Amino acid sequence: MSTRELERLRLVDDDGARMPIGVGLRSAHYEHILAERPPVAWFEVLSDNYMHTRGRPLMYLDRIAEHYPVALHGVGLSIGSTDPLDFGYLAELRALRDRVGARWVSDHIAWTGVAGRHGHDLYPLPFTEECVRHVARRVAEVQDFLGAPLVLENPSTYLEFAGCALSEPEFVAALLEETGAGLLLDVNNVYVNANNHGLDASTYLRRLPLERVVQIHLAGHGVAAAVEADGVEAAHLIDTHAAPVAPAVWELFEQAVRLGARAPVLLEWDADIPPFGVVYAEALRARVHIERALAAEATCQAEARAWAQSHAPGALA
């Protein structure tokens, strides 16, 4: 899939920055959204919550999709599993996409079950060339079935398999290159994984193919502590989606924008969900960071131009 094809997936906001700010649709907010019609640019819909149902969740979704652009985001595709692809699941996913006119369909670079069992969680993959090929074959099948590029998210992880030949960003980049899929850049996940696996978050970010970003996720995380066998307490981060975005994640987000990530931005809040106004206000904070990042980029470019002009032939004459 070319970047031009990915381009067609993108939403464009009023200021042309291609970074409209959306909110993850949650059932706790249905009534508020329908009654107040907040000026949210778009909603991301958790596709699995609207599959295997013919009832009330779809009723609300239909009404909301009449008024807002939506994109689908799933957790159940299990694209990395060694189990056969579930074409029943895919058929339902495609029907849901067509029903609500979703702009794109995303899921995670992960697996959720094996041997016919389901864990309902996002489990990590070994970062090897062979695994890239395994997942890429499945992505290709899914893209053929959906008739559209898939958008894949870098997931949060708490363990890495031994014997990985690639780093996580190298694995993600190779997979996207192999399949032409889009990237859902979850900035919080980059930060969480960098902390949990002793990586440098900025370096991780720079190694991702940011020109393939179709959507950006922001979310809050929590800190957990574990006492190890040697009595030492070790902290790790959990991708809880239950708190405001951490300052360090905002900084990383700014860096992503400066590095060229231009895509719709979305705030996820999945546990201890506050009133809609609080969630939306947190999402809108992204605007400040986008403007700051773009201003910094403009300053850099102006300085570079000035430097080039001052060093151009004849400039000293």
Partner 1 sequence: MGTEPRAGGARVRDAPRSVGCESELGAAQRWLFQRVTRPLHASRPEPADEARWVRGGSLASGTRIAVYQRAYFSRLVECLRDDYPALERAVGAADFEAWCLQFIEAHPPASASLNFFGAGFADFCATWGSPHAAFWSDLGRLEWAVVECIHADAARHLVPDQLGALTEREWSRARLVPSPASRIVDTRFPVHAHHAALLAGENPEPPAREASTLVVCRRGETVWRLPVEPRWVGLLRRLVRSEPIASAIAAASEPVLQSDPAGAGAGDALQRVVSEWVARGVFAGVSVD
Output the smallest distance, CB 53 to partner 1, in A: 4
Q: Does 5 bind partner 1 (CB under 8 A)?
A: yes
Contact predicate 205/256, CB 8 Å? yes
Concatenating the DSSP letter of every residue in 185-218 gives: EEHHHHHHHHHHHT--HHHHHHHS-GGGEEEEEE
Element (H, E) at 284: helix 276-310
Give CA separation, 275 vs 26, 280, 307, 316, in Å. Answer: 11, 9, 50, 61
Stretch that binds partner 1, among 17-25, 101-109, 224-232, 296-304 (CB under 8 A): 224-232
By CB neighbour count within 10 A (0-12 exposed, 13-18 middle, 19+ buried), where does 292 fall?
A: middle
Q: Site for partner 1 (CB under 8 A): how many residues?
A: 68
Q: Does 2 bind partner 1 (CB under 8 A)?
A: yes
Q: Does 56 bind partner 1 (CB under 8 A)?
A: yes
Q: Select from 120, 194, 180, 187 the least CA-distant residue to 150.
A: 180
Q: Does 111 bind partner 1 (CB under 8 A)?
A: yes
Q: Does 100 bind partner 1 (CB under 8 A)?
A: no
Amino acid making up residue 126: P
Output the smallest distance, CB 31 to partner 1, in A: 8
Output the smallest distance, CB 52 to partner 1, in A: 4
Contacts of partner 1 in 234-263 (CB under 8 A):
234, 236, 238
Contacts of partner 1 in 116-135 (CB under 8 A):
117-121, 123, 125-126, 128, 130-131, 133-134
CA 182 to chain centre: 10
DSSP-based three-state secondary structure for 146 = helix
Q: Select from 236, 297, 223 the least CA-distant residue to 262.
A: 297
Query: Which residue from 15, 37, 53, 67 is in contact with partner 1, where contact means CB under 8 A?
Result: 53
Output the smallest distance, CB 77 to partner 1, in A: 9
Q: Where do contacts with partner 1 occur on this chain (CB under 8 A)? A: 1-5, 48, 51-57, 59-60, 76, 78, 81-82, 86, 89, 111-115, 117-121, 123, 125-126, 128, 130-131, 133-134, 136-137, 139-141, 143-144, 158-162, 164, 178-180, 196-198, 209, 211-212, 224, 226, 228-229, 234, 236, 238
